[in-house]
Amino acid sequence: MTLALLFPGQGSQSVGMGAALADAFPSAREVFAEVDDALGQKLSMLMREGPEDQLTLTENAQPALMAVSLAAIRALGAEFGVDVSRAGFVAGHSLGEYSALAAAGALSIGDTARLLKLRGQAMQRAVPVGQGAMASLIGPKTDLALAEAAAVAGAEVGVCVVANDNNAGNIVISGEKGAVDRAIEKAKELGARAIPLNVSAPFHCPLMQPAADEMAVALADAKIVAPLVPVVANVTARPESDPEAIRRLLVEQVTGRVRWRESMEWLATEGAVTRFAEVGSGKVLTGMAKRIAPDVESMPLNTPEDLEAFAKGL
């Protein structure tokens, strides 16, 4: 069996996430305390109690989602003797790539929390609220070719690109609001449904270049070591273990496309993965995995019961 551990991205957050892990495992509580200390913020209290609008803020959601994922990883090791090295690969969706790197030991938890806090703030600063937009193109006719055609139509008005190639039937576009509105019209003409997303900024598009510049400075000073297992990078959909390449790819990721479908296809074929386990809050990536690689077993790991069953099944 070849295992790949997957780490969720923004949108998987919810009030109360991680509480069951903290209540059950001292090792999980240690992770939440480390993140609180690194940020000088009671993020764990915000995660447990809300309010939801504060947790949803990009600068809070990003480190919070990482904290839940790493609490689950720490508990797997401390309570059940399952180390990340049991996996063949790790991968994370957008901010989840940072969680994957921390889980694989390439980044410390404290540094990861601080980098994600800055990443969220920098992304918010990059584009004034209301000037950017994102939309999800969904439905059986939605594939990359349709999404690219819609983005091209939008680009006649302003910046508009494919931001997240999640899976067939679920592709996200991002850019200037007027351009995304035009792309939505084109997508509907081509037979897709289009849903504007309630996001605070247009992620993974060229408008994020100021945020990429900020992250380049921060990542230049970050200590990154070779991960215990290869990390499949969002922007290349291929495994990477070289610290300097990881540093460069994390900068490119801010403006670049999240090639999740390609990443999962590579893991299921070239990587010969037979089991996907989504570590952290929610089940979004588990659902995507089942659509992209239906022959590969997929499961979420976000409750104490999930961790116990997973460990027993290895």
pLDDT at 129: 86
- List, edge to edge, every strand of the sheet that includes 275-279: 239-240, 231-232, 89-92, 3-7, 275-279, 297-301
Same domain, 117 and 231: yes
Q: What is the CATH number of the domain that holds 143?
A: 3.30.70.250
For residue 217, pLDDT over 90 is answered with yes
- Asked if 131 and 154 count as a contact pair (C-beta separation under 8 A), the reply is no
Counting the structural domains of the chain, the total is 2
pLDDT at 310: 97
pLDDT at 1: 85
Q: Give the residue from 179, 199, 219 where a domain finishes.
A: 199
Distance, CA of 123 to CA of 215 (rounded, Å): 10
- Asked if 64 and 37 count as a contact pair (C-beta separation under 8 A), the reply is no
Q: Give the residue from 146, 170, 199 where a domain finishes.
A: 199
**Active-site annotation, residues:** 94, 204
Count the Cβ atoms, other than its own, within 10 Å of residue 123. Answer: 28
Same domain, 282 and 298: yes
Task: Determine the number of helices (DSSP H) and then strands (DSSP E) in the chain.
Answer: 14, 10
Token pair, residue 75, equals 């508990």
Same domain, 297 and 218: yes
In this prediction, what percent of the chain has a pLDDT beyond 90?
97
Same domain, 181 and 114: no
Q: Give the residue from 199, 228, 257 where a domain finishes.
A: 199
Same domain, 231 and 121: yes
Angstrom distances, CA of residue 155 to CA of 18, 54, 84, 182, 198? 41, 33, 42, 8, 21
Same domain, 121 and 142: no
Same domain, 222 and 299: yes
Same domain, 85 and 215: yes
Which residue segment(s) compose the domain that 145 sits in?
A: 132-199
Same domain, 292 and 214: yes
Q: What is the CATH number of the domain that holds 99?
A: 3.40.366.10
Beta bridge partners of 6: 91, 278
Same domain, 82 and 183: no
pLDDT in tens, 155-181: 999 999 999 999 999 999 999 999 999
- Band (pLDDT 50/70/90 cuts) for residue 200 is confident
H-state helical runs in 81-208:
96-103, 109-126, 144-155, 177-189
pLDDT at 117: 98
pLDDT in tens, 84-135: 999 999 999 999 999 999 999 999 999 999 999 999 999 999 999 889 999 9
Distance, CA of 141 to CA of 137 (rounded, Å): 10
pLDDT at 100: 98
Q: Which of 94, 170, 163 is nearest to 134 (CA)?
A: 163
Beta bridge partners of 133: 175
Same domain, 241 and 160: no
Same domain, 179 and 157: yes
